[in-house]
Amino acid sequence: MSEKTVHVDEHRDDEASKLGMWLFIFTELLLFGGLFLVYSVFRVQYHEAFHQSSLELSVTLGALNTVILLISSMTIAMALTAMQKNDQKRALIFIGITLFCAALFLFNKYFEWGAKFHHGLYPGSELMALLDRGHLLYFSLYFFMTGLHALHIVIGMTLLIVCYFQVKNKKINNKDYVLLENGALYWHLVDLIWIFLFPLMYLIS
């Protein structure tokens, strides 16, 4: 009695994977959209206090981080293009540059937050408790929203590190690059959120 060998090709539903990522991005946009709405409402109610509080932030650092994230969005897009052209070396270089930019963003944010902590301005501090309602709301939203964004940076970096080693091991290639594509989409989301955060928090007038 002969045995019949059944060959089953691995089924990969790239469209479902990309759709899942788009749905996830949509929920993230709803989350931050809600926060932006809350911020806008309180900004109207406490306009002067929000303006005075924003003067405590470094516009230079905020602008620098904006440039850094814009560059990182460009390099991750270039990494995806390189992978589609089966250029593994360039893809790895551009992913590496993106990760460097992400680390530099967090480095700058560390110093920015560190200055606030050094002066006793952080959630739960005695100084925060002494602030009037308008200033308290501004800094509470500042720490929460920029902190949440920083968390997304860390998550994005983790995903891109996975992509880096997947490309290096050729598990991501010119025929199967959906993970890198989803990673790039997520990173563009991180960039987009900051594009709204920067003017709202730093350039308020």
pLDDT tens-place string over residues 136-169: 999 999 999 999 999 999 999 999 999 999 999 9
Residue 117 lies in a domain: yes
What is the number of structural domains in the chain?
Answer: 1
**pLDDT at 3 exceeding the cut of 80:** no
Domain assignment present for residue 20? The answer is no
pLDDT of 119-132, one tens digit each?
888 888 888 888 89
User: Is 30 within a domain?
Assistant: no
pLDDT above 90 (res 71): yes
5 occurs within a structural domain = no
- How many whole angstroms separate alpha carbon 27 and alpha carbon 44? 26
Residue 52: which domain range?
Answer: 39-202
User: Looking at residue 115, which CATH number applies to its domain?
Assistant: 1.20.120.80
Overall average pLDDT of the 40-57 stretch: 91
What count of Cα atoms within 13 Å lies in the side-chain half-sphere of residue 196? Answer: 16
Note the pTM of the prediction, 2 decimals. Answer: 0.87
User: How much is the pLDDT for 11?
Assistant: 55
The answer as to whether 142 is a domain residue is: yes
Domain membership flag for residue 43: yes
In a domain? residue 2? no
DSSP secondary structure letters along 61-105: HHHHHHHHHHHHHHHHHHHHHHHHTT-HHHHHHHHHHHHHHHHHH
The answer as to whether 16 is a domain residue is no
